[in-house]
């Protein structure tokens, strides 16, 4: 068990996260190095670890034999052929990576999402208020038998990170990697939109995001807040919409799921089993809610 006696409390981590995020967005690389010092500076290949608490624990997690074995079990199982079906159980093997092509799991990147307060309009349109770090994502160094995968880490209570899911495809990590010093990448998960935040300017990174901005090449963070408030403010937890069972599933224009959203699989017999099946169940619930919302909007 990891010693958490030296870890920070959740409130302390939240405060330091906001402070670090402000630094990353406001300063150049040289200024960032001078402020944080070489021990905590962001490596050039990963521009935002300064905004990831317990980053060494995240590195340890993705490099651990347990996570690697979970990925190998995932890759040994055929891709699910439909949404809503039973979770596939991956057979337990003594050496799950044996016989597979050599690969490594890349260093984790921040997966940031818009905050409920920003959506509700109760927070200011500021970078530190608009987005929050929710998970970490890592892709593979190479395809394995024509497939790629994304390792998703979730924060552990008391400090550190643990395996949350292994997902087909690598688009999450590909978009997260577009962050640079002075910019921030975040997602609007309800429409699967990815954006880049440059100080207070929001730019789309994929087609869903462009649709989310009404076809505009960029908008101010304040204008973006107005857009998401109009989309979701009356659909927050506790709202009448939520009471009817439609919460967490906005989708203005339904499109077929891409590879990056294939259901996570259950790694039978491994320590990641509960995390992986939990991710699959949550994904199915979100998609069911999306369908209910589309039915409600057209009914």
This prediction's pTM: 0.68
Does pLDDT of 41 surpass 50? no
Does pLDDT of 52 surpass 50? yes
Query: pLDDT tens digits, residue range 207-248?
Result: 999 999 999 999 999 999 999 999 987 765 554 444 444 444
What does the pLDDT read at residue 94?
Answer: 81
Does pLDDT of 4 surpass 60? no
Helix (H) or strand (E) holding 136: strand 131-139
Contact 74, 90 (CB under 8 A): yes
Does pLDDT of 13 surpass 90? no
- Beta partners for residue 131, in sequence order: 114
Burial 63-77 (b: 16+ CB within 10 A, else e): eeeebbbbbbbbbbe
CA distance 165 to 73: 12
- Closest to 55 (Cα-Cα) out of 44, 46, 66: 46
| Tally of CB atoms within 10 A around 32 | 21
DSSP code at position 51 = G
Query: pLDDT tens digits, residue range 238-250?
Result: 544 444 444 444 4
Does pLDDT of 288 surpass 60? no
CA distance 180 to 51: 12
What does the pLDDT read at residue 182?
Answer: 86
Please, how many CA atoms are within 13 Å of residue 46, restricted to the half-sphere of its CB? 20
Local confidence band at 91 (pLDDT 50, 70, 90 cut-offs): low
């Amino acid at each position: 068990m990891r010693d958490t006696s030296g870890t920070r409390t959740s409130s302390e981590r939240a405060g330091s996260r906001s402070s670090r995020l402000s630094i990353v967005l406001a300063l150049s690389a040289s200024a960032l190095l001078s402020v944080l010092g070489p021990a905590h500076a962001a490596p050039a290949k990963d521009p935002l670890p300064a905004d990831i608490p317990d980053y060494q624990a995240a590195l340890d997690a993705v490099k651990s034999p347990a996570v690697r074995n979970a990925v190998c079990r995932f890759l040994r199982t055929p891709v699910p052929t439909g949404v809503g079906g039973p979770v596939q159980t991956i057979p337990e093997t003594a050496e799950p990576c044996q016989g597979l092509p050599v690969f490594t799991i890349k260093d984790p990147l921040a997966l940031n999402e818009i905050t409920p307060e920003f959506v509700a309009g109760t927070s200011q349109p500021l970078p530190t208020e608009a987005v929050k770090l929710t998970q970490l994502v890592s892709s593979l160094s190479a395809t394995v038998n024509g497939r790629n995968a994304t390792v998703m880490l979730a924060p552990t209570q008391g400090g550190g990170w643990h395996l949350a899911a292994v997902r087909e495809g690598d688009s999450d990590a590909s978009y997260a990697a577009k962050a640079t010093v002075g910019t921030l990448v975040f997602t609007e998960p309800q429409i699967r939109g990815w954006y880049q935040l440059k100080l207070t300017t929001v730019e789309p990174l994929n087609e869903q995001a462009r649709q989310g901005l009404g076809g505009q090449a960029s908008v101010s963070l304040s204008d973006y807040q107005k857009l998401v408030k109009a989309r979701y403010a009356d659909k927050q937890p506790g709202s009448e919409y939520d009471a009817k069972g439609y919460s967490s599933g906005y989708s203005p224009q339904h499109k077929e799921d891409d590879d990056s959203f294939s259901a996570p699989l259950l790694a039978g017999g491994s320590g990641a089993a509960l995390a992986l099946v939990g991710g699959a169940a949550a994904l199915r619930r979100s998609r069911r809610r999306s369908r209910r919302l589309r039915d409600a909007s057209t009914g």
